[in-house]
Every structure is written in structure tokens, then in C-alpha cells.
Amino acid sequence: MNSLNKNPFPARVLYFIRMSNSKLPFSPFVAKGNFVFTSGQVYLTPEGKLLEGTIKEQTHQVMKNLQGVLEKAGVSFTDVVKTTIYLTDMSNYADVNEVYASYFSEPYPARETVCVKELPLGARLEISMIASKG
């Protein structure tokens, strides 16, 4: 292998039992270099079912799920530099934003919110994050 093909930051993929016990072909997170990239999380309960409730309750569940993923990767919400929020209904934006904001303090991560037609499992909300270790 020549020096152009050597990767100084090989990807480190860590696996743990997914809340849904899913056999889907993705990892809950991948750590590469100083960054941790989470897969999108929906509001699955520890039993692997979508949480029934308000969008605020569902947002709290998504954030709890992300907290668990980040902890497994050795980081926390204070290390998050970028988030992506997917919503199926932008009328939920204010409620999601209120709950989301309660998990962070300034300086807030960069973020975009995207309205999509559908999400996996019929969820109304999905969030993914990028965190920096250092």
C-alpha cells in the first residue's frame, strides 16, 4: 500500500445491542479520527417499540436514545458539533425545538431541520449527530 492509500484515522466501529435488536446493515455510531457519527435515532423504547405519546415525549425519547449512543462512543451532548433533525410535519418544529434545546447550552451545535415525506417505522421524528472528541 502506498502512502496515498494509508488512512491515518481508520474507522472504529463499535457495536452494542440496538434498542430494537435490529439486524439492519448499519452501526449505531462510527468513530473516525476525533469524530463520532451517530446513526439517526427515532423514539424507540427499550422494548423496541415506537413510544406512543406527544411529539415532546417522543423527542425526549430520541434524545435519551442519542445520549446512550453518545455515551457508548465516549462522548456526550457537550461534544456534539452538528445535528440533523428530520420531521414529517413541520408544525411539530416548535415543540421539537423546545425539547431539543433543553439538552444543550451555548454554543449550540450547528443544525438543520429537514421535512421529509416518511421516516422508518412510521416515525414522525429522527435525529442524528456528529460529535468531536477534543
Q: Are 88 and 118 in contact (CB under 8 A)?
A: yes
Judge whether 3 lies within some domain.
no
Q: Grade residue 27 by pLDDT with cuts at 50, 70 and 90.
A: confident
Say how many domains are in the chain.
Answer: 1
Instruction: Copy the grid coordinates of residue 65.
Output: 436514545
Judge whether 78 lies within some domain.
yes
Judge whether 103 lies within some domain.
yes
pLDDT 10s digits, 31-90: 999 999 999 999 999 888 999 999 999 999 999 999 999 999 999 999 999 999 999 999
As a whole number of angstroms, the distance between CA 134 and CA 132 comes to: 6
Instruction: Copy the grid coordinates of residue 48.
Output: 423496541
Average pLDDT taken over every residue of the chain: 86
